[in-house]
Amino acid sequence: MGSSMVYFPILSVAPEYFDRHRGAAMGFILSGASIGGLVLSPLIRTLLGVIGVRWTLRAMALANLVITLPVAISAPPSRSMTRRSTLVNIRLAKKPVFILQSLAALLQASGNSVPMTFLPEFSTVIGFSVSFGAALLAVNNGINAVSRVLMGVTADRLGRQNTLVLGVAGSAASVWCLWLAAAVNGGKAAWLTFVVVYGILAGAFNALFPTTITEIFGVHAYASVNGFLYFVRGLGALFGSPVAGFILGDSRVPSPGQETSTLLHDYRNIIWYDGGLLLVSSLCVIGVRGFDALEKRKWAWRA
């Protein structure tokens, strides 16, 4: 709850202060989450080994206080002269563009977390060490951080909805082509390529989702719509990886005497599941693009 009280107010205010370069600005802001994953993962592992669990939690709590307190003090106020409703208008909620955007948020959040959840374990299945698998996760976070900025800059030039569609559809394609190829033949090259490509493409949704909300629903409705859609994304994240874990079963890493080919076959099931989630999410994003143009009665190639 505390982290949400810091994180979401910043997301609600920031789009009001940017227009022409809104994608780049939000990319910079949201890249902090991936940078945090890159830095904090090894730091927390080190702290756990040196000072234990309780003092690690205290240290992280103190660090959060020291970092976020200046942010809370210096954060700019909303530009709106009147207080905006924090509830989604019923008429707005019935629109196809809102329904499809909600479904896209739910499914993308569900599918987005699966590769990262199983990245270290799958790395050991195809022959990498446990430490190398953990390093790959950190590398993916680093790539994702850079990607959020680059995708934001690209979106300001090519269109934010266009770039979002390419990012989500590309994520689904990388899961079904590269990750599946690694699971079929245990190819390390395919797996390493997937880690890089997915890190780049998955950053598009995280960077551009808030900017497209502003573009589609307007700044006046941004706070209420953004809050609801991030709530939906939270629900999606709750069932994405757990369902994948249920599909995979108990065997996630090779046990003594176990055939690697059998375990790779088990992973294919969650790859199909994850690719399906991302594919339907990309179709919903395409639908949002179309219905938004219909509502505005104007088709623009750069949108």
CATH assignment at residue 258: 1.20.1250.20
Q: Whole-angstrom Cα distance, residue 241 to residue 113?
A: 6
Q: Is residue 269 part of a domain?
A: yes
Specify whether the CB–CB gap between 44 and 56 falls below 8 A: yes
Specify whether the CB–CB gap between 252 and 260 falls below 8 A: no
- Tens digit of pLDDT per residue, the chain (303 long)? 666 666 666 666 666 666 666 667 777 776 766 677 677 777 887 888 888 888 888 888 888 888 878 877 776 666 665 555 566 778 878 888 889 999 999 999 899 889 988 888 888 888 888 888 888 888 888 888 888 888 888 888 888 888 889 999 999 999 999 999 988 888 889 999 999 999 888 877 877 887 888 888 877 777 778 788 888 888 888 888 888 888 887 655 554 445 555 566 678 889 999 999 999 999 999 998 888 888 877 766 666
Q: Provide the pLDDT for residue 22.
A: 67
Q: Provide the pLDDT for residue 156.
A: 81
Q: Is residue 124 part of a domain?
A: yes
- Inter-CA distances, 118 with 59, 109, 111, 140, 227, Å: 28, 15, 12, 13, 28
- Inter-CA distances, 11 with 136, 199, 264, Å: 29, 22, 40
Place of tokens 């995280």: 206
Q: Provide the pLDDT for residue 78.
A: 65
Specify whether the CB–CB gap between 248 and 121 falls below 8 A: no
Q: Is residue 110 part of a domain?
A: yes
Specify whether the CB–CB gap between 116 and 6 falls below 8 A: no
- pTM score, two decimals? 0.79
Q: Whole-angstrom Cα distance, residue 14 to residue 229?
A: 17
Q: Provide the pLDDT for residue 8.
A: 67
Q: Provide the pLDDT for residue 256.
A: 46
Q: Provide the pLDDT for residue 104.
A: 92
Q: Is residue 155 part of a domain?
A: yes
Half-sphere exposure (CA, 13 Å, Cβ side) for 107? 23
Number of independent structural domains in the chain: 1
Q: Is residue 302 part of a domain?
A: no
What's the CA dihedral at 254, 257, 262, 266 to 10 degrees? -30
Q: Is residue 99 part of a domain?
A: yes
Q: Provide the pLDDT for residue 176.
A: 92
Q: Provide the pLDDT for residue 251.
A: 52
Cα angle 110, 113, 116 (rounded to 5 degrees) comes to 160
Cα angle 129, 135, 136 (rounded to 5 degrees) comes to 90
Half-sphere exposure (CA, 13 Å, Cβ side) for 273? 19
Q: Is residue 9 part of a domain?
A: yes
Q: For residue 280, what are the domain limits?
A: 2-296
Q: Is residue 169 part of a domain?
A: yes
